């Protein structure tokens, strides 16, 4: 299958200025002599209506251009007043190129397998962190003999909760089914 590309060639030495392509763009050029430009990597000129031929810069408007395609080579000959001459600026060719292969559509991503043991351990660690955070100031108040009866009761409830979290792995259906302890309020 073919598509089109526009290639800009510098007149002085025949180098590729740039390629704008809807397909492959591995296009190379040669400049074997005055007014001679050979283009590799095309399938010839893009036919109308998709192709519009060539355009030379205004500076080169007085030049005549002949284009032929044979044996995989696109030849561009430029003359002025009947003599081969290099373009003073550039030429843009609208060429045919091979279409790029359709992009590969990656296989759908399978959802990651969920390791129930890993999830359970992570949740225990998360809940333990919450309990530790709640316990620290309560334990401090008890340690310095400034705890209220409410703080002592709360400390005991949080410690019981932390013990229950530590015993979650002992449950019969762990880690598939877990009866999570309820955090104190």
User: pLDDT tens, 35-71?
Assistant: 999 999 999 999 887 778 899 999 999 999 999 999 9
- Collapse the DSSP code of 24 into the 3-class scheme (helix H, G, I; strand E, B; otherwise coil) and give the result: coil
Please give the C-alpha separations between residue 27 and each of 10, 74, 121, 160, in angstroms, as whole numbers. Answer: 14, 11, 58, 76
Place of tokens 């190379």: 28
Which whole number is the average pLDDT over 159-175?
A: 95
Tally of CA atoms within 13 A in the half-sphere of 61 that contains its CB = 2
pLDDT in tens, 114-158: 889 999 999 999 999 999 999 999 999 999 999 999 999 999 999
The model carries a pTM of 0.55
Q: How far apart are CA 164 and CA 114, in angstroms?
A: 24
What DSSP letter does each residue of 148-160 carry, written as one string?
-HHHHHHHHHHHH
What is the 8-class DSSP label of residue 35?
T
In the chain, domain spans: 2-98, 116-170
Average pLDDT of every residue of the chain: 92
Q: Write down the pLDDT at residue 90.
A: 94
What pLDDT is recorded for position 110? 81
Distances in Å between the Cα of 32 and the Cα atoms of 29, 62, 87, 135 are 10, 22, 14, 86
């Amino acid at each position: 299958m073919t598509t089109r590309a526009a290639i800009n060639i510098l007149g002085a030495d025949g180098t590729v200025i740039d390629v704008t392509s809807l397909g492959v763009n591995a296009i190379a050029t040669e400049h074997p002599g005055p007014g001679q430009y050979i283009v590799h990597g095309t399938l010839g000129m893009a036919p109308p209506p998709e192709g519009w031929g060539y355009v030379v810069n205004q500076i080169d408007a007085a030049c005549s251009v002949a284009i032929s395609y044979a044996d995989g080579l696109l030849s561009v000959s430029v003359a002025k007043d009947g003599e081969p001459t290099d373009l003073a600026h550039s030429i843009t060719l609208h060429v045919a190129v091979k279409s790029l292969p359709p992009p590969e559509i990656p296989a759908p991503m399978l959802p990651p397998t969920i390791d129930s043991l890993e999830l359970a351990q992570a949740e225990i660690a998360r809940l333990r962190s919450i309990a530790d955070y709640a316990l620290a100031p309560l334990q401090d108040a008890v340690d310095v003999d400034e705890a209220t009866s409410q703080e002592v009761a709360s400390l005991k409830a949080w410690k019981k909760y932390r013990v229950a979290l530590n015993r979650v792995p002992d449950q019969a259906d762990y880690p598939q089914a877990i009866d999570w302890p309820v955090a104190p309020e």
